[in-house]
Amino acid sequence: MIKKGDTLIEVTLAVGIFSMIAIAIVAVMSNGTSNAQTSLESTLAREEVDSQTEALRFIQSSAIIENDPNGKYSKLWDTITKHAITKEGEFNDKTIEKILQYSPESCDELYNKQDDPNSIYFQKAFVIDLHQLGNKNNTDEGVSNIIVPASGDKFQPASTYPRLVYSDSGSLVAAEGIYIIAVADYNDETKIATGGNEATPTKGFYDFYIRTCWYGSNAEKPSLVSTVIRLYNPAIVKNTN
């Protein structure tokens, strides 16, 4: 009795089918890993955004409770508002509108140091150094170090996901792919009494745009996580209470 094996065509067909199934399985696994990585990065980015948001709220509410123009948190609030975009100089309606339309084609364009409305340097961006803010031993002299403006080389595109990078000693090394821009109240300034019959023009509120930009796993287009909060000027809040 003659035993016959598989023909070359049958072997080739079997190998081809096996290869297609293996490639499909690897593709599905790779796609799943990529989606999991992107989801993790988005979660971490959201946590960084929430941390900056809560820091802003903490400074504003502390300035209200402090009720002292020369207090630590009032100084912090004043420092923050000095970075706010207002309708004056290079910031007109058209420029501000472009800044608020956050849809960068690439993360790198945000770090262009030219006079470009998309640039974080043009937008007077900043971040809050959370380690310095939480340092109970920080003196009034150290208040200015809590608000870190977009200057020098500390503001950089994200190497992995948006985050504040600290050294082993707790010093802020870099703000990667995350920043804040403040936009002052567009309306006429509110006048509040500061003593006697004197009234001082004061911005009613500030909108804070906390933004991130990075490239997810195998992504060609940038990933974006952002939020906006409106905080009223502590001087206005205190005057209405």
pLDDT the model gives residue 201:
56
Q: How confident is the model at residue 112 (pLDDT cuts 50, 70, 90)?
A: confident
Predicted local confidence at residue 27, as pLDDT: 66
Position 197 confidence tier, pLDDT thresholds 50, 70, 90: very low
0.95 exceeded by the pTM? no
Where in 83-184 does DSSP place strands (E)? 126-128, 147-149, 155-156, 163-166, 172-176, 178-184
From residue 119, how far is each of 8, 95, 108, 215 by CA, in Å? 63, 12, 9, 18
d(CA 180, CA 39): 23
Judge contact between 99 and 226, C-beta under 8 A.
Answer: no
Phi and psi torsions of 53, nearest 5°: -65, -45
Angle at 89 between CA 88 and CA 92, to 5 degrees: 60
pLDDT at 85 over 80: yes
Confidence at residue 239, expressed as pLDDT on a 0 to 100 scale: 61
Strand, coil or helix: what is 222? coil
The model's confidence at residue 196, banded by pLDDT at 50, 70 and 90, is very low
Contact yes or no for 175/168 (Cβ under 8 A): no
**Residue 115: pLDDT over 80:** no
Q: Which of 211, 228, 217 is nearest to 104 (CA)?
A: 211
The torsion angles phi and psi of 57, rounded to 5 degrees, stand at -65, -40
pLDDT at 188: 58
pLDDT score at 195: 47
The pLDDT tens digits of the residues spanning 139-194 come to 555 576 899 999 878 999 998 899 999 999 889 999 999 999 999 986 655 555 45
Q: Which of 132-141, 175-184, 221-230 has the lowest mean pLDDT?
A: 132-141
Please report, rounded to a whole number, the percentage of residues in the chain having pLDDT higher than 70: 80
Task: For residue 28, give Cα distances in angstroms to 23, 66, 219.
Answer: 9, 56, 16
Per-residue CA distances from 124 to 47, 119, 149, 161, 218 (Å): 23, 9, 7, 22, 31
**Measured on CA atoms in the order 207, 188, 101, 88, is the torsion positive or negative?**
negative
Please provide the size of the chain in residues: 241
- Tens digit of pLDDT for each residue in 45-67? 999 999 999 999 999 999 999 88
With cut-offs at 50, 70 and 90, classify the pLDDT of residue 206. Answer: very high
CB contact at 8 A, 78 and 235: no
